[in-house]
Amino acid sequence: MNNYETIAAYYTLHRDEIVGFVAMRIGNADEAQDLVQDVFVRLLRSDKLISSTTLPALVFTMARNVVIDWFRRHRVLEEYEHYIVGSGDRNESMESVISARELMERMERTLARLAPECGEAYRLHIYDGMQVGQIAKEMQQPYRAVEYRIGQARRAVRAALSRAV
């Protein structure tokens, strides 16, 4: 069985279980389905050797990481929403919140197009406020490689957001 067949068979048998795992953590079944789909798309794009023995642990690890990323994105957005709502005119505030959501979505789409390591390093740096050295240790990557990846992600996000504004 090749990777595609192994992943497809696992998806068919365990999709609902994984969606439940994610939905229970984020509290939104529709978004959970989207996140689980992202997990399996990443698996299908992966060039790593995947076996039926390692796949369950890999899927749940990836699902857990996707949930963590989801919370990071929503925490930043909620902080911005609270700042905007508390800082002025209600109509202007709602427009700002909608704009912030659109910009966050555009940023996440841009990061999704980059190599996974670039997106992960950028998210750790921006959402968690981690320094490059800390990110390098967590990702078990050389300092210069992490610095380069964050730079790539910054350039891509800056270009995407400048087109939006």
Which two tokens mark 27? 């509290």
Distance between CA atoms of residues 48 and 14, nearest Å: 21
Which two tokens mark 33? 């389905």
Letter string b/e over residues 3-37, b meaning 16 or more CB atoms within 10 A of that residue's CB: beebbeebbeebeeebbebbbebeeeeeebbebbe
Instruction: Answer whether residue 91 shows pLDDT above 80.
Output: no
pLDDT digits (tens, 9 = 90+) for 40-80: 988 888 877 888 888 998 998 899 888 888 877 776 655 55
DSSP 8-class letter at 114: S
Confidence of residue 18 (pLDDT cuts 50, 70, 90): very high
Which two tokens mark 154? 């910054």
What is the percentage of the chain residues whose pLDDT exceeds 70? 82
Confidence of residue 84 (pLDDT cuts 50, 70, 90): very low
| pLDDT score recorded for residue 13 | 93
Instruction: Answer whether residue 25 shows pLDDT above 50.
Output: yes
| pLDDT score recorded for residue 36 | 92
Yes or no: say if 43 and 50 are a contact pair by the CB < 8 Å rule.
yes
The CA angle 138-76-61, to the nearest 5 degrees, is 40
Confidence of residue 87 (pLDDT cuts 50, 70, 90): low
| Mean pLDDT value of segment 84-103 | 56
Judged by phi (left if over 0) then psi (alpha if -120 to 50, else beta), residue 131 lies in beta
pLDDT digits (tens, 9 = 90+) for 130-160: 898 999 998 899 999 999 999 998 888 888 8
Give Rg (Cα) of the chain: 18
Amino acid at 134: Q
